Amino acid sequence: MNLCVLCGSKNLTSEINNHVTPTSTKLPKFVQLKSTIMPVLSQKGQNMPASPIRKLVPYADQAKKKGVKVYHLNIGQPDIKTPENVLKAIKNIDLDLIAYSPSQGYESYRKKLASYYQKNNIDISADDIIVTTGGSEALAIAIGSIADPGDEIIIPEPFYANYNGFAKQNAVNVIPIHSSIDENFALPPIAEFEKLITPKTRAILYSNPGNPTGYVYAKDEIAQLRDIALKHDIFIIADEVYREFVYDGEQHHSILHQDGMDNHAIIIDSVSKRYSMCGARIGTLISKNKDLMQTAIKFAQARLSPPTLGQIASEAAVDTPQSYFDEVITEYKNRRDTLVEKLNEIDGIKVAEPKGAFYVIAELPVDNAEKFAQWLLEEFNDQNETVMVAPAAGFYSTAGQGTKQIRIAYVLNQKDLIRAAELLKKAVETYQQTEKKPTNSFANKKV
């Protein structure tokens, strides 16, 4: 029996005619309205935050189409060359079949990684490591393994913007704890953490050295986090992707340097920044907690395996000589010094001096940094050049925080970095003059 798909009538012919508009050529209304209706999207998807690092890319693309050169200070994509031994390993790949790897990653790679961590006084074995598709997947798996919908993770803010996204993917609530640019984004008082811990608290998450702040946590700060984790029986998730990049005599202190953390510590790591291999998409999830790792491997199995070619390159990267890092660290320190010096030439600016990674947070004398960042790409140029920055509000979870701040990644060579800082100085001066006008072309734009 044929039924009308619109109302279920048995008289198909007459009912279809009833659903036709007078001006149509006998097409059902639902055909004509097809472009205006669609299935409902998930609330979780609609709540996913846009990346403050990438959300202004369309404006940068438009500027480039107009012939404007854009200096990218918005994204942590190093221009440092990947180690030669890694490039050689890629060129020499000789496979008849690019097959799945084990879900936890190749054993040969995990054993070499374990040796690398042992040299850094982190006592783990290959069984304590799951190789992931970048540090991003390691974070997502970690959160999925320890937290249920409605659970909470405490994160000092500002923090790596995608922490919010990974939490929302798992319907987990981020509980921010504010750190201040006036204190160079040091760890907030541990008493403030105590106030936020509830029965739903599953972990404290932080990055060290910090993204976006460049702050390097001192040994006693890590010890305080250890103490609160053991007291309340919660996890510490330490994002240690920038471990190698510390300056001014500072040292990196891992959460697994602390005694008693075998069951409470999770390390997130990646080859992306360490070896300038962002496109390899290889990260690691590390924990000595066997129950956690047995849970995490089920998530790893569900996504099948990490990239085979990326693991080949990353295994070669473990053999990178120390001389490579010595040169890279010197280069980044020089870039930091140059950038901070140039930024401090801008009237009214406030700059937090980073001790690690390759980011700096600057507070600008503007009304709204996101609006300013869009204006940089849409309306400003000097000699057909402009600069792209990341609005720092997207690195906060608390509404209204960081609205005048930007994150700058000092990943450009010295010459380009100096020019980008000059452009930023001229832009701030121009923008301030434009702001003073009663009407302007960008004041009412929505960003």
Residue-wise pLDDT tens digits, 117-161:
999 999 999 999 999 999 999 999 999 999 999 999 999 999 999
Higher pLDDT, 115 or 10: 115
Kindly compute the dihedral angle of the four CA atoms of residues 97, 98, 103, 108, in this order, to the nearest 10 degrees.
80
Question: Whose structure tokens read 């040292």?
Answer: 251
Same domain, 88 and 193: yes
Contacts 24+ apart (CB under 8 A), 439-446: 441/379, 442/371, 442/374, 442/375, 442/378, 442/379, 445/371, 445/374
Q: Is residue 149 part of a domain?
A: yes
Are residues 95 and 212 part of one domain? yes
In a domain, 442, yes or no: no
Does residue 162 sit in the same domain as residue 251?
A: yes
Q: Are residues 112 and 175 in the same domain?
A: yes
| Residue 444 located in a structural domain | no
| Cβ density class 301-312: b for 16+ within 10 Å, e for less | eeeebbbbbbbb
Q: Which of 302, 317, 332 lies at the terminal end of a domain, its last residue?
A: 317
Count: domains in the chain = 3
Same domain? 170 vs 237: yes
Q: How is residue 215 written in tokens?
A: 């702050």
Residue 30 domain-assigned (yes or no): yes
Q: Report pLDDT for 19.
A: 46
pTM: 0.88
Within a domain: residue 447? no
Residues 138 and 278 in one domain: yes
Same domain, 203 and 329: no
- Which residue has better confidence, 342 or 8? 342
**What are the tens digits of pLDDT across the range 24-65?**
445 455 455 555 788 999 888 888 887 877 889 999 999 999
212-270 pLDDT per residue, tens: 999 999 999 999 999 999 999 999 999 999 999 999 999 999 999 999 999 999 999 99
28 assigned to some structural domain: yes
Q: Are residues 371 and 421 in the same domain?
A: yes
Structural domain includes residue 446:
no
Give a yes or no: residue 145 inside a domain. Answer: yes
pLDDT > 70: percent of the chain: 89
pLDDT tens digits, residue range 400-434?
999 999 999 999 999 999 999 999 999 999 999 88
390 and 270 belong to one structural domain: no
- Specify whether 60 is located in the same domain as 108: no
State the average pLDDT for the chain: 91
CATH number at 367 reads 3.90.1150.10
The predicted model gives 323-340 an average pLDDT of 97
Q: Residue 160's pLDDT is what?
A: 95
Residue 22: give the domain boundaries. 1-38
What is the predicted pLDDT for the residue at 436?
A: 67
| Judgement on whether residues 295 and 347 belong to the same structural domain of the protein | no
Reported confidence tier of residue 299, pLDDT bands at 50, 70, 90 = very high
190 and 276 both lie in a single domain = yes
Between 98 and 32, the more confident residue is 98
